[in-house]
A = this chain, B = another copy of it.
């Protein structure tokens, strides 16, 4: 075999429900993607095993060998030490504590590679900034609406890390003081407690329990009773009044929240991603944007601020992680 220069990098997006692993070539093209369920309930070792399998599968899929890979980046939904490449804790995965991810990835590769460990939301923000909706801008806020609401802030072309590495938690901006409690560790009345898929599901199930007319139970039965974003999209398409009114309320709060973020940071673009936005992005943004614009404090050059849905969709995280691993 002729000696080749390693030109590809791998990005891993370790999510609460799925692991997405992708290989990116030197032209920023995704040449392989492997999607595996996280099965967090099986604990850390099972998850780590599935990550390694996904790496091998991605190589097979792209017809590449380990020697073609110069780096691996991974975005994780937990606490980590970027410098040492150690996952300190991922609350939702049992036993995922003090895992030396950098070592694990290097051992898998067997050679000298660059490894990068970062936050799941931040790698997705970086992907969207470099190759997606944020391309060509210098100041961007990304808001990821899914089970929770996370975010990433890019200022002057750099990800804002913050003094303790935790900047960008846009989901925990209190938007309705004394409002609903958030699931998990979120703050009361924060936008996550008002407009995440979890909050939307809470409001819908409560209304169903109260006997509000809706076609949701029908659609839910076909979907193993899981109220995922795809179910919401179907209900909206069918004109379900309850779903539409709950989503419109969420969009209203997201609009107020968008204004808060823009008034503080004055970015050029706000990008919405995450499960809910991948399914209902344009519909939601049509409702978010007018509320936001009414509440922007700086009314000049309003056209300079774009509110858009993610253009990369689900692979944004893996792509961003792969780009970070290029170094």
Which residues of A pack against B, CB within 8 Å?
Answer: 79, 138-139, 151, 153, 155, 160-170, 172-179, 185-190, 252-253, 256-257, 259-261, 263-268, 295, 297-298, 300-301, 304-305
Q: A153-B264, A169-B298, A260-B260 are in contact. Are A163 and B139 (CB under 8 A)?
A: yes
Enumerate chain B residues within 8 angstroms of A168, measured Cβ to Cβ: 264, 266
The reply to whether A263 and B173 form a contact with Cβ atoms under 8 Å apart is yes
A301 to B164, CA, bound (A): 8
Enumerate chain B residues within 8 angstroms of A260, measured Cβ to Cβ: 172-174, 190, 260
A161 to B300, CA, bound (A): 15
A170 to B297, CA, bound (A): 10
Closest 9 CB pairs of A and B: A162-B266, A166-B298, A167-B266, A173-B260, A172-B263, A169-B263, A174-B256, A172-B297, A163-B268
Nearest-Cβ distance from residue A82 to partner chain B, whole angstroms: 14
Residue from the list B155, B187, B305 in contact with A295, Cβ < 8 A: B187
The reply to whether A265 and B172 form a contact with Cβ atoms under 8 Å apart is no
Enumerate chain B residues within 8 angstroms of A172, measured Cβ to Cβ: 259-260, 263, 295, 297
A252 to B177, CA, bound (A): 10
Nearest-Cβ distance from residue A289 to partner chain B, whole angstroms: 15
Nearest-Cβ distance from residue A216 to partner chain B, whole angstroms: 25
Enumerate chain B residues within 8 angstroms of A297, measured Cβ to Cβ: 166, 169, 172, 185-187
Residue of B nearest to A294 (CB): B187
